[in-house]
Amino acid sequence: MQGGVKLAKSQAEVREYADKILGKLLVTHQTGSGGKIVGRILIEKASKIAKEFYAGIVLDRQQAMDVFMVSTEGGMEIEKVAAEMPEKIVKAAIHPGAGLRPFQASRLAFALGFSGAQHKQAVQFLMALYRAYRETDASLAEINPLVLTEDGQVLALDAKMNFDDNALFRHPDIRELRDLNEEEPAEIEASKFDLNYIKLDGNVGCMVNGAGLAMSTMDIIKLAGGEPANFLDVGGGASAETVENGFRIILQDPNVRAILINIFGASCAVTASRKGHRSRAEAGRRKTAGHYPLGRDQF
């Protein structure tokens, strides 16, 4: 199913669309080709829209600053706007010590074409959005569409926010909103053992200590013609149990045909110890890169 936004003109149509969407596979640019099963539906009052806009804040790691982006091309995917009409995106870099300044919000509101009373509303809205972004330790806050209604109101009709996992201990209210049904089961399992694991689409499993080394290891696999099956950082102080659980989670992926282990430093003995305790049946079922080197043509 493509297109998860429906306009219903009656309660009967609301039920009809809900029946068609709930439990179905939704494929969008954000979900990727694999799509996501729809488990919940947001129902909101329709607005008489005069104009749609985009507003979003994201962390720019290269500049080490948050960046506020706005566009007059609201209601469509911002990735598509960036690819086809980059000139339609106006940005403002926000210094972490100063925060979003009123003059910056004013410039962004003018860039969207607001004037008069609507300009004042838009400035207040943009400032409030930035406060919400900072106070929740978010890494993304996106309003799409931000609209101007026919009666002159500036409203947010849809919102998306991502939060920094490392700061969730400060936000128990946000942690309670976590929906495990929307997450990769292997990643949920890994989080129980403090493993930094992200599932990918390749067939070469990776076990590495250190995020930077893990990224470099994946680059090496790509350079050799392979595709990494996961990102897995066991950490510098990994215990035998941590490593064992890491192996178990990697081997749960049916696509994994080999495992590349790249451990630097004191964790080497722990890793070797846990490898030695793996059962013969499991070792026979899967090959590890350390025992069966693969050439470029075997990936």
pLDDT per residue as tens digits for the range 141-164: 999 989 999 988 999 988 899 998
Q: Do residues 231 and 200 lie in contact, with contact meaning Cβ atoms separated by under 8 Å? A: yes
Catalytic pick from 54, 130, 133, 197? 54
d(CA 153, CA 117): 9
54 catalytically annotated: yes
Pairing of strands 49-60, 138-149: antiparallel
d(CA 262, CA 64): 29
Greatest CA span in the chain, whole angstroms? Answer: 75
Q: How many CB atoms lie within 10 A of CB 175?
A: 12
d(CA 231, CA 242): 15
Q: Do residues 196 and 232 lie in contact, with contact meaning Cβ atoms separated by under 8 Å? A: yes
Return the percentage of the chain with pLDDT > 70, whole number: 85
* Site of tokens 């693969």: 294
* Site of tokens 């998860």: 4
13 catalytically annotated: no
Q: Do residues 111 and 92 lie in contact, with contact meaning Cβ atoms separated by under 8 Å? A: no
Catalytic pick from 130, 133, 142, 244? 142
pLDDT of residue 293: 41
pLDDT of residue 284: 44
Q: Do residues 255 and 229 lie in contact, with contact meaning Cβ atoms separated by under 8 Å? A: yes
pLDDT of residue 268: 59
pLDDT of residue 288: 42
Show the low-confidence residues of the chain (pLDDT under 70).
1-3, 30, 32, 236-238, 265-299
